[in-house]
Each structure stands twice: as structure tokens, then as C-alpha cells.
Amino acid sequence: MCVGVPAKVVKKMEYSATVDVLGSQTTVGIIFVSEVEIGDYVIVHAGQAMSIVDEDYARESVEEWRKLVDARNSETI
């Protein structure tokens, strides 16, 4: 199973972009979505932005990821 994480593009270079994922920033490749712009949301998998998604989808997906993280954190307490 492949899992993609939604991220917001905060900086764009020629072949990579800095994205914000749940409050953390990382650099990802953008060769599959070269048309991406700052402020767009992308699905990131294995260090690559795989597709551009709309903000509503990204927001809903982030909410589900936060639930998973919160559930995991509550197990370790």
C-alpha cells in the first residue's frame, strides 16, 4: 500500500520545492508536477510530489492524519 501525505508548497525551485507537512518543512522533488506553484497543495510520497490537489481535499486529509498522530501519541502515554 502506498501512502501519500498532503503538503503545502511554500517555496519552488527548478526541480524541487519546500513543502509544509503538518507544520514541518521538507524539500521534495517536483518532476511529476512541474506546473505546481507556491500555495498549491500536493500529495507527497517517497520524497516526490506526485499530484496537485485542491485545498479542501488537503485540509480533510490533514485532519485525518492528525487523528492518526494523536491516537498514536495517546497510546505511548
Taken in order of first residue, the domains within the chain and their CATH numbers are 5-75 (2.30.30.140)
User: Residue 4: what pLDDT?
Assistant: 83
Three-state DSSP at 54 gives: coil
Distance in angstroms (rounded) separating the CA atoms of residues 55 and 63: 12
Give one word for 27, left, alpha or beta, with left for phi > 0 and alpha for psi -120 to 50. Answer: beta
What are the pLDDT tens digits along the chain (77 aa)?
A: 567 889 999 999 999 999 998 889 999 999 999 999 999 999 999 999 999 999 999 999 888 888 888 888 887 65
Handedness of CA 41, 33, 43, 57 (dihedral sign): positive
User: Residue 35: what pLDDT?
Assistant: 96
User: Residue 1: what pLDDT?
Assistant: 52
